[in-house]
């Protein structure tokens, strides 16, 4: 009978629109009670005066690189980065080596999670075999092994017939198909957003149309099949507009945006620093404004990091030879707190919603809330603390972040994952032998 | 006056005054190449590395001659014979060159931005001899010198650049350079070879070559590469030549004192016919000759003593 009492924090629970000073009592790994002035003798009392207490954050788009590229990240280091950044749950993409297209690979990831993970790890299964976009993956086998969604990740399915059948077949399992929308022919050899900067820098452009063409196609296919579709990392004004109209029409669609697409533009690539090389590429100011507007008006449901670790020697290269991707688990929360909440573009309640209950709903998870009886996943945030981002202090094995040196507001003060205190006093991560 | 940077990465980084300084210095160096003994001791004891990781004859030779005429020691490294062919990274190549105490590294590379990457790693200077589809600053400088030599001004000169702008580092450097010096630029080619938003770099666009020619002081034809046809950028070389090739009929639309230029190597019969290439208005060989002088001036300003010869 272990009891933890969190006292005096500003509790934000988007599910029931609570934003008020409350105490939270945890008993046996579950939330027992959320109320004003709870007085009970607890085994541990956490003073949350002047701090924000919210459901544990959920990142539905990360790459943990295990199995295959353990030099870049592992389930252990990736989840260490997650809890440091405030995330109690991460959903990991299937582009591992081998690809997560069989129960064996899913079992392997889950076994690593059981023994080493500090956060919940929810594997996403491959939509097609080896992510080739040709044949359907064994979806039932993957569901039974525990995947919570299907995705072809960066390997956009170019064959519309395969995509149609994949969406149709997935309906049996009531999980979303997560789409990285990229027409591989329109984006061929592309390096950065197509526009003035691709012209000036002499780097092959990836037009906004490469994303929008696939979003339009897949919205039509989602409407036709009635499948649940979720678009990963939307990056253009046109994408937001297509999804807004589809939602109005009643199509079963959700989408996410990354912190880097909300805060950076292609103008920053002038130095040819490959830490700005991501896919989809950083777009223009107009797109950034449209993404922020989409978050505000609810077109964009969630914020996800697309945490993509890469080895230093692979990133430290000529721009066009470097791989796409940036890491984000340890910078997402302070970035959006600073750039959206401090800048008064989004309320704290809306922001927390897009990092907790909305991602939970997208994946059909019973998480992301502080409701009584739910799992005790709680993130306590000091949103006033100023932090200078330093890649050398990351828990992640990789350092490919464009935010090195940025001064941001917001720090995770304490994190409880499944009832266990995993982060305390800001920095110290408690080793957690048996996993979460 | 001196150049502000240890590197020449692109025209973008140069001021109008720096360009004028290089062109001015070029005048005094051009004469050296016409002497019987074509050598001065200005860079004696300096080591220059020609790191050419993409095939090149004229630019590499031009830099090599420029360095040798200033008495520098030159080492040529090419993509096929270097450790790069064995998979060495550009970072390690750079560190190796630095350890050998080179004074200047001249780099030609297929990747845009490679010289910028190198310049951040090296204490010694870096000169961009053409990077991907980004910039080719010394080509633009020699073109400016050639135009100025004929017209005795750059201000107000109208230059039409014709062809594959999208894949041309020569076009980008020339647009930047001509704008800085007060000349105007019009680009002519099919829409598939004109990259997006390039007007913002300071130029106009036309798809109709015949209407542009009577107004142009300079017609600058770019090399067209056959493989672009396979990328669906135009249907055939024949159609390209019909629409954008400089032929006799088109040359007659030009004013008598207008210049015809080409960065080489020319595809005779494609972007320019043999008879046009050999017209008196064609200054293609002057460009090559001036290339050596411009590069001498540049090397001297970057790693010379500083006092004007």
CB B295 within 8 A of CB B187: no
CB B303 within 8 A of CB B46: yes
Residues of A in contact with B131 (CB under 8 A): 202
Q: Convert the pLDDT of each residue in B151-210 to its tens digit.
A: 999 999 999 999 999 999 999 999 999 999 999 999 999 999 999 999 999 999 999 999
Q: Is the pLDDT of residue B275 over 80?
A: yes
Query: Which residue of A199, A200, A318 is in closest CB contact with B111?
Result: A318
Dist. CA A179–CA A232, nearest whole Å: 6
Kindly state the average pLDDT of the residues B62-85: 88
Average pLDDT rounded to a whole number, residues B236-240: 93
User: Active site residue: A218, A306, A377, A382, which one?
Assistant: A306
Predicted confidence (pLDDT) at residue A145 exceeds the cutoff of 70: yes
Q: Which pLDDT does position B228 carry in this prediction?
A: 78
Contacts of B134 (CB under 8 A, 6+ apart): A201, A202, A203, B10, B112, B113, B169, B172
Whole-number pLDDT of residue B78? 85
Chain B contact present for A199, CB below 8 A: yes
Q: What was the pLDDT predicted at A262?
A: 98
- Within an 8 Å CB–CB cutoff, is residue B200 touching chain A? yes
In the DSSP assignment, the letter for residue B89 is: -
Scanning the structure block, which residue is given the tokens 């919603």?
A: A353
Write out pLDDT tens, residues A120-134: 999 999 999 999 999
Sort strands B125-131 and B158-162 into parallel, antiparallel or unpaired.
unpaired
Would you say residue B229 has pLDDT above 90? Answer: no
Name the one residue in this structure whose structure tokens are 């709680």: A378
Q: Does A133 touch chain B (CB under 8 A)?
A: no
The secondary structure of residue B87, as a DSSP letter, is T
Q: What is the pLDDT of residue A1?
A: 52
ipTM for the whole complex: 0.94
Contact between B134 and A319 using a beta-carbon 8 Å cutoff = no
Task: Tell me the pLDDT band of A98, cut-offs 50, 70 and 90.
Answer: very high
Q: Report, as an integer, the average pLDDT of B287-304.
A: 96
Residue A120: C-alpha distances to residues A90, A355, B169, B287 (Å): 6, 15, 50, 66
Q: What is the DSSP letter of A400?
A: -
Catalytic status, residue A306: yes
pLDDT at B231: 84
Q: Is the pLDDT of residue B86 over 80?
A: no
**Does residue A15 surpass a pLDDT of 70?**
yes
Give the lowest-confidence range in A165-174, A225-234, B228-237: B228-237
Tokens of B57: 């004859």
Res. B308 pLDDT band, cuts 50 70 90: very low
Stated as kind and residue range, the H or E segment containing B296 is helix B284-303
Q: At what angle do helices A237-248 and A285-296 cross, to 10 degrees?
A: 30
Look at B305 and B196; give whichever has higher pLDDT.
Answer: B196
Contact B196 A201 (CB under 8 A): no
Give the per-residue pLDDT at A434. 47
**pLDDT for residue A216:** 98
Alpha helix stretches (DSSP H) within A318-392: 332-336, 348-355, 357-362
Inter-chain CB proximity A196 and B169 less than 8 Å = no
- A269-290 burial: b if 16+ Cβ within 10 Å, else e: beebbbbbbbbbbbbbeebbeb
Across the interface, do A199 and B169 touch by the CB < 8 Å criterion?
A: no
Q: Quick one: what percent of chain A has pLDDT higher than 90?
A: 97
**In the block, which residue shows the tokens 């930047």?**
B176
Question: In this prediction, what percent of chain A has a pLDDT beyond 70?
Answer: 97
pLDDT at B142 over 70: yes
Mean of the per-residue pLDDT values for chain B?
94
Q: Chain A contacts of B113, Cβ < 8 Å?
A: 201-203, 272, 318-320
Q: What is the mean pLDDT of residues A28-57?
A: 95
The residue-averaged pLDDT of B41-62 equals 93
Sole residue written with tokens 């300084």: B21
Q: What is the pLDDT of residue B81?
A: 66
State how far residue B253 is from chain A, nearest Cα, in angstroms.
31
Which range (A351-355, B90-94, B113-117, B241-245) has the least confidence?
B90-94
Q: Does A190 touch chain B (CB under 8 A)?
A: no
Question: For A373-431, what is each residue's pLDDT tens digit?
Answer: 999 999 999 999 999 999 999 999 999 999 999 999 999 999 999 999 999 877 667 66
Task: Report how far residue B101's alpha carbon sits from residue B78's, in angstroms, rounded to the nearest whole number.
Answer: 19
Give the mutation candidate from B111, B120, B131, B164 for the A interface (greatest A CB count, under 10 A).
Answer: B111
The residues facing A230 across adjacent strands are A178, A254
B121 touches chain A (CB under 8 A): no
Cβ(A29)–Cβ(A419) under 8 Å? Answer: yes
């Amino acid at each position: 009978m272990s009891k933890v009492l969190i006292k005096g924090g500003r509790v934000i629970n988007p599910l029931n629109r609570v934003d008020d000073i409350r105490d939270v009592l945890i008993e046996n790994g579950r939330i027992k009670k959320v109320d004003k002035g709870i007085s009970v003798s607890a085994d541990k009392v956490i003073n949350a005066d002047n701090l924000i207490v919210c459901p544990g954050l959920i990142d539905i788009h990360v790459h943990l690189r295990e199995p295959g590229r353990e030099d870049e990240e592992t389930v252990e280091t990736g989840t260490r980065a997650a809890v440091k950044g405030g995330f109690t749950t991460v959903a990991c993409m299937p582009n591992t080596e081998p690809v997560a297209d069989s129960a064996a690979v899913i079992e392997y990831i889950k076994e690593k999670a059981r023994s080493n993970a500090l956060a919940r790890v929810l594997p996403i299964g491959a939509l097609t075999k080896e992510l080739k976009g040709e044949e359907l993956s064994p979806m039932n086998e993957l569901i039974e092994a525990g995947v919570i969604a299907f995705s072809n990740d960066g390997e956009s399915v170019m064959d519309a017939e395969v995509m149609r059948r994949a969406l149709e077949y997935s309906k049996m399992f009531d999980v979303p198909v997560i789409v990285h929308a990229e027409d591989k022919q329109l984006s061929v050899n592309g390096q950065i957003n197509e526009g003035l900067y691709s012209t000036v820098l002499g780097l092959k452009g990836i037009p906004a149309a490469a994303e929008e063409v696939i979003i339009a196609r897949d919205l039509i296919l989602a409407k036709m099949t009635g499948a649940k579709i979720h678009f990963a990392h939307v990056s253009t004004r046109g994408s937001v507009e297509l999804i807004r109209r589809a939602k109005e029409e009643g199509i079963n669609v959700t989408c996410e945006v990354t912190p880097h697409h909300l805060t950076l533009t292609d103008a920053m690539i002038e130095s040819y620093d490959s830490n700005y090389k991501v896919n989809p590429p950083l777009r223009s100011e107009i797109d950034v404004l449209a993404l922020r507007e989409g978050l505000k008006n609810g077109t964009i449901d969630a914020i996800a990091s697309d945490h993509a670790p890469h080895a230093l020697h692979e990133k430290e290269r000529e721009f066009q030879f470097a791989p796409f991707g940036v890491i984000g688990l340890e910078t997402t929360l302070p970035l959006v707190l600073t750039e959206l909440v401090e800048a008064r573009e989004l309320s704290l309640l809306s922001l927390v919603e897009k990092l907790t209950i909305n991602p939970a709903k997208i994946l059909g998870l019973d998480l992301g809330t502080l409701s009584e009886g739910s799992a005790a996943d709680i993130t306590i945030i000091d949103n006033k603390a100023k932090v200078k981002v330093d890649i050398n202090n990351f828990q992640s094995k990789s350092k490919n972040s464009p935010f090195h040196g940025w001064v941001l507001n917001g720090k995770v003060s304490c994190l409880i994952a499944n009832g266990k205190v995993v982060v305390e006093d800001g920095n110290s991560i408690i080793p957690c032998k048996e996993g979460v | 006056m001196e150049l502000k940077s240890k590197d020449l990465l692109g025209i973008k980084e140069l001021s109008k005054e720096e360009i004028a300084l290089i062109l001015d210095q070029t005048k005094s160096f051009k004469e050296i190449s016409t002497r019987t003994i074509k050598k001065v001791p200005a860079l004696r004891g300096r080591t220059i590395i020609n790191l050419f990781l993409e095939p090149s004859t004229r630019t590499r030779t031009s830099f090599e001659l420029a360095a040798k005429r200033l008495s520098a020691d030159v080492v040529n490294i090419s993509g096929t014979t270097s450790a790069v062919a064995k998979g060495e990274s550009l970072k390690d190549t750079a560190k190796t060159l630095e350890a050998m105490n080179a004074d200047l590294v001249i780099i030609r590379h297929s990747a845009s931005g490679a010289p910028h990457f190198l310049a951040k790693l090296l204490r010694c200077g870096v000169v961009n001899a053409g990077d991907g589809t980004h910039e080719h600053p010394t080509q633009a400088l020699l073109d400016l010198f050639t135009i100025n030599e004929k017209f005795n001004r750059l201000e107000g000169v109208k230059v039409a650049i014709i062809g594959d702008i999208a894949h041309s580092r020569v076009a980008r450097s020339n647009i930047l350079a001509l704008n800085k010096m007060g000349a105007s630029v019009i680009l002519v080619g099919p829409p598939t070879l004109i990259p997006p938003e390039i007007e913002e770099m300071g130029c106009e666009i036309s798809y109709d070559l015949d209407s542009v020619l009577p107004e142009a002081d300079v017609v600058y034809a770019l090399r067209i590469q056959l493989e672009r046809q396979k990328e669906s950028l135009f249907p055939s070389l024949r159609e390209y030549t019909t629409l954008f090739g400089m032929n006799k009929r088109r040359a007659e639309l030009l004013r008598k004192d207008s210049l015809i230029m080409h960065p080489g190597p020319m595809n005779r019969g494609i972007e320019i016919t043999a008879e046009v290439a050999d017209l008196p208005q064609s200054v293609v060989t002057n460009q090559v000759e001036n290339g050596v002088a411009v590069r001498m001036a540049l090397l001297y300003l970057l790693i010379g003593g500083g006092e004007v010869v």
